[in-house]
Amino acid sequence: MRYCYTLIILMLLLLFLPEQGLTDPQITEVDYRESHSIIIEVEGNPQEYRQWIEKNFPFIEVITVYEKLFTGLALQGSIRHLEKLSEHDFVKMTYPVKEYQMDTELISNRKLNNTTLPSSLNNTSYTGKNVKVAVVDTGVDYHHPDLQKNYIGGYDVVDFDEDPMETIATEGTPTLHGTHVAGIIAADGELKGVAPDAEIYAYRALGPGGFGTSIQVIAAIEQAVKDGVDIINLSLGNAVNGPDFPTSLAVNKAAELGVILVIANGNSGPENWTVGSPATAINAISVGALARPEQITYLHVSPEDKDISLNEVQQTGPWKLNRTTEMITDLQQQNPHGKILMTSMSEINIEELLKESVEKGVQGILLYEDEKEQKVLNTLQTKTPIPIALISQQDAEWLEKTMQSKRLYVQPRVREVEEMVAPFSSRGPVTIDWRIKPDILAPGKNIISTVPEGYEVLNGTSMAAPHVAGALAVLKEAHPNWTNDQLINALKTTAVPLEASEPIAQGNGVIDIKKAIETTTIINDTLITFGKYAASEEKQTATLTIENTGKKAKEYYFKIPKKQKGLFWELPTSFKVGPKGKKSVSIDLKVSTKYVEQGIHQGWLELISEDEVFPIGYLFINETADYPIAMGYEFSLEAFSREKYQYQFYLTEEVAEVEIHLFHPETLTYEQPLLHLKNPQLGLNMGEIDRKQIKRHGIYKALLSLQLKDGKYVYLETDIFVPE
């Protein structure tokens, strides 16, 4: 009876529960007829297994061995031999599921009036000379004239060779992301990067289409560490918000080995809790995206009083019409003179359209955005006085429908947009350890940089991170004897917060390279967390270490925070730090939880020295918050096995029990149970399911039932695909 009652509840939840916290799993089918290259993780000494494999599997080539960040081997051989090898007990895991990808928005053929040049961030005479910067990404087009000079070498952990070139069309979906990132860091040609004299090392961890596995990313980081790089840029990530996901742990280990790791915070904003691994790593410097002030042209539509966003096309005239103008959708209409033409880009010749539009006196052209955008607009070879802009298909459909019943008139208008955190930039905090991420902001919107065979404008925290990697190269040249912690913390200490943004959106604020070089105060760490308060009255302590790199003693004091009900601060009185000295101070925060709302609480403390003010971001969680409890669910056919499925999911809170039930995707009728775990571990959970347990292949609607330690239940929905 209890079981039937539970199923009724589950079915009702499937009907009304929105998806949250989980990603739709993707399945990679194995082609057993082809030779493959894989990475396996092993239990024990990988060098011993190398010898064993070479002796017992002579048809499998051991390409490389990994020992620094994880224990594993890269192998190449036929599916038949790799399948037999994977059956041995020492093989801990193989990684066929694509988990990581670059995530940016291409702004093709945009006008350059709002575009940011990477070199504009460097307001110093330093250029990053002799600093080695690794780009772990989709590869780099090292033939690009702006990158040839600074490209030194690298490795490809997708194809396992020493040629980390971007994916080209004959190999699959082409990529350009890594080349764009490398140009931001150190382009030295027609375009200049932040650190144009830095040395670029490329590590291709993401293959066709920009996809790769967590182990490929870790293997690329390990190779970069072996090659002795100073800084590693990772403009990639996934959706798992936790500090102990494998890639985050690998990043922390690489930092312990003496490398600075700069990581994009992610493009899943503006909601909280959206930062993903490896930007969640404690020892990484995570970067959010700054949108600089810009003028945005849009069309106001009357008499409907609606605004239409425009993406203006390069080499075309300005949208500066003197009067309200009627819209048309067909050049063959009786009188197109002085009107705005809207048409789809499908099956048009842009040059012929322009010629006819000029002849008939058209005042402007609006084109639908679709999958043919790049192909069509790249045919535009000559400048034209007629302004052309792209609009979304949704706006185009609304305009077409409305114009069937009435005439519409448009007028170009300009809106000033202030400097802000880009809406797409992921926000913190991090679950489990409640740290503030990102650490800092850098330009990430409308960034022009190198791509294969030219230049493009891209958006994303993927573009913000390499600005910081370049800034750290410049800082390292200026202060070659500073430790990595000093370099990172100098950049954070001197960052300038945006007044309208919270710490979990911007960290310490916008970086300033010149201020970081010149500062004599370095604070470790400028972002503090007091964790989660659970008792009715509880005190937590955070520690700040202030370093004075100058030749004179400096005096510091805290500005007394504004009183808030339920919060009681204990701050140190004024204190001195001697020349070349350090001092650690404690900050206590007592919270009476019954007087404070549940959830995230954050703000700024101010440390003052003479005429300098150093903002210290702080955060605490009162009792609970709206963070995701489960995420990162993936289900796939185990590599080189027809009999086993692999699953994994990530928990951010201790759970007593996890159940997964499968339902028909259309009728929502109950089909079968899939998984039942008692006392799963906090963090990543992985395991196998026998294929015979699942009655049929195909798509299922899956419901995850999580029983918390306090007896409450949380339900999460996702889709599962069981391959044939």
Q: Which residues are catalytic?
A: 137, 177, 462
DSSP state of 60: S
Instruction: Give, for 473, the enclosing helix (H) or strand (E).
Output: helix 461-478
- AA letter at 104: T
Farthest-apart Cα atoms in the chain, separation: 83
Please identify which residue in the block is written with the tokens 């995420």: 631
For the chain, the first-to-last Cα distance in angstroms comes to 34
Query: By the 8 A CB rule, do 520 and 500 touch?
Result: no
Cα 490 from Cα 493, distance rounded (Å): 5
Amino acid at 34: E
Q: Is 397 exposed, middle or buried (0-12, 13-18, 19+ CB in 10 A)?
A: exposed
DSSP structure class, residue 460? S
Give residue for tokens 């600005």.
467
DSSP-based helix, strand, coil % in the chain, nearest 5: 20, 35, 45
**Residue 116, helix vs strand vs coil:** strand
Asked if residues 83 and 40 have their Cβ atoms less than 8 Å apart, the reply is no
Partnered with residue 200 across adjacent β-strands are 133, 151
Residue whose C-alpha is closest to residue 156's, from 213, 95, 205, 101: 205
Antiparallel, parallel or unpaired: β 199-204 and 567-570: unpaired
Q: Give the total residue count for the chain.
A: 724
- Cα dihedral 29, 30, 34, 36, rounded to 10, equals 120
Prior bond to 429 cis, omega within 30?
A: yes
The identity of residue 121, as a single letter, is L
Cβ-based neighbour number of residue 147 at 10 Å: 24
Alpha helices in 111-257 (DSSP H): 177-186, 214-226, 246-256
Contact partners, residue 519, CB within 8 Å, separation at least 6: 490, 493, 494, 549
Q: Give ∠ CA 220-223-228 in degrees, rounded to 5.
A: 130
